[in-house]
Amino acid sequence: MASSLIMSRRDLDFLLHDWLRVERLVERERYAEHDRETFDAVLDLAEQLATEHFAPLNREADTHEPYVGEDGRVVQPESVKAALAAYTASGLPTSVFDHELGGMQLPFVVHQAASSWFQAASIGAFAYPFLAEGNANLLATYGTPEQVATYAVPVVEGRWYGTMALSEPQAGSSLGDITTRAVRQDDGSYRLTGTKMWISGGDHELAENIVHLVLARTPDASPGTKGISLFIVPKHLPAEDGSVGERNDVALVGLNHKMGYRATTNTLLNFGEGLATPGGRAGAVGHLVGEEGRGLTYMFHMMNEARVSVGAGAMALGYTGYLHSLEYARVRTQGRPLDRKDPTTPPVPLVEHADVRRMLLAQKSYAEGALALVLFCAHLVDESRTHPDAETAHEAEQLLSLLTPVAKSWPSQWCLAANDLAIQVHGGYGYTRDYVVEQLYRDNRLNPIHEGTHGIQAQDLLGRKVVEGGGRSLGVLGARVTATVAAARAAGGEPAAYADRLDRTWTELLRVTGVLWEKGDPALALANATPYLEAFGHVVVAWLWLEQLVAVGDGDEPFHHGKRAAARYFYAFELPTTGPRLDLLASLDTTTLDLDPTVL
């Protein structure tokens, strides 16, 4: 297959096989029926489906965004439904699930690599199966056998889709302030009333049914997050034979019209207001997942998966934007090099200009660094679930928890920057709809907000993850960084020089982390949590670039030279920017704390 502008198969193969050595996973019982050929076949299939079904609809779904028809149903291009049907027919939606649920038990890291093709081809269309996967995974983990059979299995099979209905108009990300109410009935079910906002995939006609996972409070629940429970609330109630029955009281009130990511409906839903079933029951029928009061604990299972997947989506958009701008820079001729004085000399391709090469290298370092981060975290999922040594599995779980806010936020920030540079490489054409890069930027601009803003991720990282257990997770990461530094020093040359820089920066990051918490004042420590997240993320990605260089070894293909060039850029241009951030943090600056909001 010709070189793609969607993703780089060569890079995926390098990261999966030369770096992460994923074929070793088949030695474990869960993955024993797979091999390298299986993994490659899945990637081949993903590339084919993304190229033939998802990429062609991307522009149409953007220019013909969903709307509510006269009959109250969502209207979307038929191409979206057709692409999703092709994806379902391929069997890929079942890839990571257990055999008992009809799944393939594919390693999560391979599934994530395959998913990157769809996220890059049309992230808005692929959001439906992505959300459904997390929904079914949560139910498979915490639901009763009956709930799994009734609600999770149809989602795994791709016949139904699923959502997570958390936010409310008045609460946003402050989930402790939600007011949706759930009242227990004599038959053990619940009736829910309330309003949910920003629900991705909350209504559409792309599947037989939609399974909403809804956060709500019971009448006697305590205030705050500890009083929140989780409920299964289907759009249509299942009949006794498992088929789709009567409409539940879940009503679409309206669609939010977004700057990008338009193929994914974003909805305002009313539960139990009688809008969907006039004159019917009082409240939407729901079923409790697990125990009352533990809803947020269960939902975080899905939210943490979603956060890594949001980072993966941001990476994919940055990656395909880089490939498009690289192609454009190679074929578009404009200007002449500064050392060519003769005005009759023919114009040269844009890639011949040093500043254009700078922008391309920056994109490459962000996109390929983010891909390594996402796949590393996906590999940690497999390690935490299947490694035969319990201590190693636990360390993988700790490391994944620590890196989750980074995996969500770093690609969302820096691959958006890559999309910005892709527009710049295109010049005036870049901000027109003649080229896809302007849509990629709009699509990606949502990811710094999806599943928790940078500020929320920063507080999670600095306020919880780096300090929990006396910094155990930070110690696990430190051991990995130290091992990489040692391997790079042994390799000599550029890797050894980069190892010294990484070692110094990591040591300074640890010192500053201690400074931030030495007074025991959370408000002071977290006042500048976002610069901390940015510095931490850059150090992590610098470490992963050094990991890639060690894996490249003495490789002499153009691909290997490209890896070296991107690593050189990251260590020359990006890692040094952590210095001013760490200096600011160490100063314990109180500018934001001391500010009188009335002066703004």
E strand or H helix that includes residue 400 = helix 390-426
Q: Quote the DSSP letter at residue 14.
A: I
Tokens read off for 561: 């030279």
Give me the count of residues in the chain. Answer: 600
Distance CA 176, CA 519 (A): 28
**Closest among 244, 328, 249 to 285, alpha carbons compared:** 249
DSSP 146: H
**Residue pair 377/370 in contact by the 8 Å Cβ criterion:** no
Q: Largest Cα–Cα distance of the chain, in whole Å?
A: 89
Residue 545 near residue 372 (C-beta atoms within 8 A): yes
Rounded-to-10 torsion of CA 312, 316, 317, 323: 160
Q: Please give the helix or strand (H or E) that residue 155 lies within, else none.
A: helix 153-156
Which candidate in 168, 273, 383, 451 is catalytic? 451
Q: Active site includes 451?
A: yes
Query: What tokens were used for 176?
Result: 């402790």
Which H or E run contains 211?
A: strand 209-217
Alpha-carbon distance of 266 to 254, in angstroms, equals 9
Distance of CA 387 to the CA centre of its chain: 24
- β-pairing, 209-217 with 160-165? parallel
Question: Which phi-psi region, left, alpha or beta, contains residue 468 (left: φ > 0; alpha: ψ -120 to 50)?
Answer: beta
Rounded to the nearest angstrom, the gap between the alpha carbon of residue 393 and the centroid of all alpha carbons in its chain is 23
Tokens representing 250 are 């879940």
Phi–psi pair at 181, nearest 5 degrees: -115, 140
Record the tokens describing residue 291, joined without a space. Answer: 């125990």
- CA 88 to chain CA centroid, nearest Å: 21
User: Which residue type does 292 have?
Assistant: E
Q: Which residues are catalytic, by number?
A: 451
